[in-house]
Structure 1
Amino acid sequence: MDSLNSVDDPNYFERISLLMFPQVNYTYTMVSKQFSEGCSQGTNVQPELYLRLSRTRTICDMFLGGGNAFKLEYTGSCKSSKSCNPLGDSIGYLPSVMSLSIIQCSNDRLSLRFLIEFRTNSYRGYYGSPNIRTSLIGEGSWDEKKNRLCIVACRIYDASSSLEKSHVGDCTTRLSLRFPAILSIRNTSTIVGEIWSVKPRNESGFFDRVQFRYGGRIQLQGLKYEYMQMDKVKKSCPMKNTRNSTNRGQYPYGYSPDMRFRLWVIERSKGIIGWGSLDPLAVGDQQYQRFPFLLLSSSSKPNNPAVESDSNSGLLNISYKISITLSSSKLDGGLNPVNDSSNESLRTNIRISAEGVYDIATGSLCMVGCRHLRSGDKSFSSDSMDCEILVKISFPPLSSDMRNKIKGSIQSMREKTDPLFFKPLQFSGRSDYRSQIMEPIVMTDFETRSFWRTNFDLIMAQITFQLLGTLLLFCQLYSFRYNNTVQTTLQQSIFPSEEIPLIGDR
């Protein structure tokens, strides 16, 4: 798009390049040729470990609604290797996030096209445009036998300055994507996959296999959670039998929205040093509302009565996803990213998945956690985890006011000489749901008068409209009876039936 005005004209603008992907009469040529026998050179998977898709819930439905940000996970040797970047070294950085934005879906809902973008963070504004220079264009097809999506991706060349000469080439990148059937403390990702190159290792453009994960919400029936650390929970979290406790109903129930809350990490000498959130993943033998299709697997019910999910005993199994952002300048040694002692970044994100037991009668929650280890700003594979973490949380009674906040701690169970040991993190929290209920109650006298005056005005307006509507209705009924045109009842005047004659029939 060029401006017809002169350069000196205030309405002049420089050339704007547009890039559009054809959607009319498009033929999926790449996937039909490449995936006739499955994903080429992809990792062999057991189909029963991954969820199937149905005719009413197709692969296209899973990606509708915008882009999906996937966290990239590199191998331990990838930081010093030049063959890790799917886009090569020309972009100048190693991406940490990949997004898949659907372009078009086939008529049979089994094949689709993606714009695959690599970025350094997961945030992109609603109106933000993708960076074509760091993107791939791909065709994907759902493999019903292996329960996975196979994608062929191609580079977009000459897209740095003007898009006029942009073209697609080098279609040697492959992606595979699956939906795990069972979640656990070591795998809380609802979507997993990998990226690889089909080029020979000694050829230019080859890169090592990269894994990616997505931990957001999906809607697939049959998703289950399996508890794996309950033996360690028994040793670290001794629970008393509260079957006959008189405190029932005084603390949040396991499935209450109050179980999800925000937190602030506090250190006495430094004040607030971080913030984050705790989100339940699975609770007892029912799914938490954030995952409406998450079910408890039969193997997740522990045999130990001390940690058995039993509403009668007041103890519930529960799992959480914990996300914390800490100031790197105030980090303890064991929380520093692996192989990164410089602390050049201002913030460090800590991800912990935890599972344990919640006591309904006392409001106490005790869990064993696994922390995802990271190398600088890049993630290792999911096997790099520190599962020697204890999380304790105390919920305030429901009858308390907002000044009684949720209290908790995260501490390492390792020896002090262990490089992964860190000092306990103390935090306080507040439930979003509880805040919305309790905050309007705490008002000044002026706010209270304004609140009641506003409510009184709204109530009077509603009553006036209802009275006016009733009066008009009776006037209409009186008119009908007076003219003896239509014999009807009150119900028929509100819900007319075929017995009422039309205007033209009068």
Structure 2
Amino acid sequence: MSILDYKYEFTVYDTLRKTCDEKKSGGGKGKKYPDEHSLDIGLDMTVKNSKGQTGWGYASPLYVDGDRIHSSVVNISYELHFRHGFNFFGQGSLATTKVSAEGIYDRENGNLCMIACRHVLSKDQNLIEKDMLDCGMKINLQFSPLDATDRRSVNGTIESTRRKSDPLYFEPMELSSISITKYQAANSISRINLENVMVLISNTLACVFVGWQLYYVKKHPGVLPFISIVMCFVLILGYMIPLLSNFGAMFVPNRSWQDKFLGTGEWLKVNEVIVSALMLVAFVLQLRLLQLTWSSRQVKEA
């Protein structure tokens, strides 16, 4: 598997025809799966072996070729990195392993089937070479539809096609991934924008109403002793708790990977500052109302 003169050559196409099941699943009829050229086919993975041990990795597409196969089935190559966790492929392999894979992807049912190769290091040079390429591996991934509500977007397995007696054989491992598709991202952005507008409106109205109260008691100071101090305390707490929660978000830069993926990090940052500023104004105005109410009661008792 190598790129020569900027042209990728698929070397295991005939093997794929014999190994991978290309029958289309009826369960995917009428559903839309990730496009082979989209970012949705790159993913972070959780890997679990037969002993229940868990590791992590990621898969990055290298090349897509739709010339040889028409319709929805295309040739595709991947580079996979397995890191952090258990010894992924048993003896003769490292905890961090790079795997190259070639396969076929069918966007009509979201199935990806690949033959994979890895470099095997061995101290016993009498049995095998010191650096041997093991291509007896099969990877099968099933992508979820783009509009799926389940957060688990990919499920699959990686298994050895060798006999159990072979020293390079390893037990099958489960692959899964939780990621956000562009469809889900668009829905999330719409929901976030709606929530932001509602919060901005509610905080703006809060400032207006408390300011209106202060204007009214200034013209009618006689109503101040009848304002509930308990109510003022409850309203002040209602503004103070969110302010304390958002204090770190206002001054500490912290963009999560979700914000980077959605491209909404800067807008969310500006929105947090505006919301916190409006809430601070409402808090100060409510505090002023409490002070006036408390002072009027002290004067009345005196």
Match of 1:309 in 2: 69
- Cα deviation 1:151-173 (Å, max 9, x = unaligned): xxxxxxxxxxxxxxxxxxxxxxx
SS at match of 2:146: coil
- 8 Å contact from structure 2 (residues 152, 179) kept in 1: no
2:82 pairs with 1:336? no
Whether the 8 Å contact between 1:309 and 1:316 is mirrored in structure 2 is yes
Q: What residue is the counterpart of 1:150 in the other structure? A: none
Q: 2:29 aligns with which of 247, 250, 258?
A: 247
| Equivalent residue, structure 1, for 2:177 | 429
Give SS of 1:393's match.
Answer: strand
> Which residue type is aligned with residue 178 of structure 2?
R
2: CA distance, partners of 1:433 / 1:381: 43
Instruction: Give distance in 2, aligned partners of 1:425 and 1:259.
Output: 20
Q: Could you give the per-residue CA deviations for residues 14-66 of structure 1, whole angstroms, max 9, x where no partner exists?
A: xxxxxxxxxxxxxxxxxxxxxxxxxxxxxxxxxxxxxxxxxxxxxxxxxxxxx
- Where does 1:70-469 land on structure 2 (aligned, <5 Å)? 184=1, 187=2, 223-240=6-23, 247=29, 250-267=32-49, 270=52, 273-285=54-66, 308-310=68-70, 312=71, 314-328=72-86, 331=87, 334-337=89-92, 348-374=95-121, 384-431=132-179, 434=182, 437=185, 440=188, 449-450=195-196, 452-454=198-200
State the match for 1:124 in structure 2: none
Q: Distance in 1 between matches of 2:183 and 2:81?
A: 20
- C-alpha change, 1:356 and 1:449, in structure 2 (3 Å) is closer
8 Å CA contact 2:34, 2:143 repeated in 1? yes
Contact 2:101–2:116 at 8 Å: present in 1 too? yes
Percent of aligned pairs with the same amino acid: 28
Provide the C-alpha distance between the structure 2 equivalents of 1:438 and 1:265, rounded to a whole number of angstroms: 28
Instruction: Quote the Cα distance in structure 2 between the aligned partners of 1:432 and 1:246.
Output: 19
Q: Which residue identity is paired with 1:362?
A: N
* TM-superposed deviation, 1:437: 1.1
Give the Cα–Cα distance (whole angstroms) in 2 for the partners of residues 405 and 268 of structure 1: 22
TM-score in terms of structure 1 length = 0.35
Over 3 Å counting, the alpha-carbon distance change for 1:439 and 1:327 in structure 2 is farther
CA apart distance, 1:247: 3.0
Q: Distance in 1 between matches of 2:120 and 2:50?
A: 27
For 2:105 and 2:78, the matched residues in 1 are separated by: 11
Cα shift at 1:350: 1.3
Residues 382, 262 of structure 1: CA spacing in aligned structure 2 closer, same or farther, 3 A cutoff?
farther
Is the 8 Å Cα contact of residues 260 and 431 (structure 1) preserved in structure 2?
no
Summarize the Cα distance change of 1:454–1:368 in structure 2 as closer, same or farther, 3 Å threshold: farther
CA distance change for structure 1 residues 263 and 434 in 2, over 3 Å: closer, same or farther? farther
Aligned twin of 1:207: none
Deviation at 1:322, TM superposition (A): 0.6
User: Which whole-Å CA distance do the structure 1 matches of 2:183 and 2:91 have between them?
Assistant: 33
| Aligned-partner Cα distance in 2 for 1:280–1:265 | 18
Residue 309 of structure 1 deviates from its aligned partner by 2.3
**Count of aligned residue pairs for this structure pair:** 201
- Structure with greater proportional helix content: 2
C-alpha displacement of 1:384: 2.0
Gaps of 5+ in 2: 205-266, 268-302
Shift of 1:284: 1.7
Q: Matched residues in 1 for 2:138 and 2:32: separation?
A: 25
- Note if contact 2:82-2:98 (Cα within 8 Å) is conserved in structure 1: yes
Q: Could you say if the C-alpha distance between residues 323 and 443 of structure 1 is closer, same or farther in structure 2, counting changes exceeding 3 Å?
A: same
Question: What amino acid is the match of 1:453?
Answer: V
TM-score normalised over the length of structure 2: 0.56
Query: What's the RMSD between the two structures over aligned residues?
Result: 3.9
User: Partner of 1:348: helix, strand, or coil?
Assistant: coil
* Cα offset, 1:398, TM superposition: 0.7
Compare relative contact order (CA 8 Å, sep 6+) and give the higher one, 1 or 2.
2
| Contact 1:391–1:410, Cα closer than 8 Å, also in 2 | yes
Matched letter for residue 262 of structure 1: D
Q: Distance in 1 between matches of 2:130 and 2:145?
A: 37
Cα distance change of structure 1 residues 246 and 440 upon mapping to structure 2, 3 Å threshold: closer
Q: Is the 8 A contact 1:248 1:360 kept in 2?
A: no
Shift of 1:393: 0.2
Partners of 2:21 and 2:42 lie apart in 1 by: 23
Report the CA distance shift for 1:405/1:245 in structure 2 as closer, same or farther (over 3 A).
closer
Q: What code does the residue aligned with 1:348 have?
A: A
Q: Relative to total residues, which structure has the larger strand share, 1 or 2?
A: 1
How far 1:270 sits from its partner (Å)? Answer: 3.0
Q: Structure 1 CA distance, aligned partners of 2:77 and 2:138? A: 13
- Structure 1 residue 427: deviation in Å? 1.4
- Relative to structure 1, the CA distance from residue 246 to residue 362 in structure 2 (aligned partners, 3 Å threshold; closer, same or farther) is closer
1:413–1:438 distance in 2 versus 1, CA, 3 Å: farther
Cα distance in structure 1, aligned partners of 2:201 and 2:35: 32
